[in-house]
Amino acid sequence: MLRSIKVVATALLAGFIATSAFAHNHGKKADDIVTIASGDAQFSTLVTAVQAAGLVETLQGEGPFTVFAPTNDAFAKLPEGTVENLLKPENKAQLQAVLTYHVLGSKVMSSDIAGKELSVATVQGEEVAVDATDGVTVGGANVIKADIKASNGVIHVIDSVILPPSIQ
């Protein structure tokens, strides 16, 4: 009798775990842009900058957004001291301008622009050149991974930080 109870209990527990795993993996809403970036170590500098600029809530908002996300290596390409300078509280407006220049106010998948050259308005207000005729570049930065889907848009990983013309 005790053996039968253990078998039934084990079967019920296995069924509950399988059901929970299925619901977690298949019924779960996709994470937002900030959550995805925060969960990926290659974006730790970007996440720090987004926090310092006070843009977390914005990028967790409804969107949709397209974010051209520079990696830590992309930030490391900037002249020495640039990131540290931008992270200072007195440079918050400039940091916001740089970061919002990496954001479009719509969701643009790579298939939407394949084979095209265009200039698109950023959330910052200035336009950035996109060339998808041979690979994809944005403001001269290469897209190294495209179409990371988020609940509120999409992330395209880039290999350089792009700067708005007004800041260069």
Q: What integer pLDDT is reported at residue 109 of this predicted model?
A: 95
- The number of domains in the chain is 2
Q: 124 and 60: one domain?
A: yes
- CATH number for the domain spanning 97: value is 2.30.180.10
Q: What integer pLDDT is reported at residue 30 of this predicted model?
A: 77
Q: 23 and 40: one domain?
A: no
pLDDT tens digits, one per residue of 70-93: 999 999 999 999 999 999 999 999
Q: What integer pLDDT is reported at residue 10 of this predicted model?
A: 31
Residue 165 lies in a domain: no
Q: What integer pLDDT is reported at residue 67 of this predicted model?
A: 97
Q: 10 and 54: one domain?
A: no
**How many of the other CB atoms lie within 10 Å of CB of 90?**
7
Q: 146 and 121: one domain?
A: yes
Residue 38 lies in a domain: yes
Q: 20 and 84: one domain?
A: no
Q: What is the pTM of this model?
A: 0.81
Distances (CA, A) of 144 to 122, 134, 162: 20, 13, 14
Q: What integer pLDDT is reported at residue 9 of this predicted model?
A: 33
Domain of 106, in residue numbers: 31-158
**Separation between Cα atoms, residue 113 and residue 74, nearest integer Å:** 23
User: Among residues 58, 60, 52, which one has the least CA distance to residue 34?
Assistant: 60
Counting as low any pLDDT under 70, the low residues of the chain are 1-29, 168
**Separation between Cα atoms, residue 78 and residue 85, nearest integer Å:** 11
Q: 6 and 39: one domain?
A: no
Q: 108 and 125: one domain?
A: yes
Q: 7 and 41: one domain?
A: no
Q: What integer pLDDT is reported at residue 29 of this predicted model?
A: 62
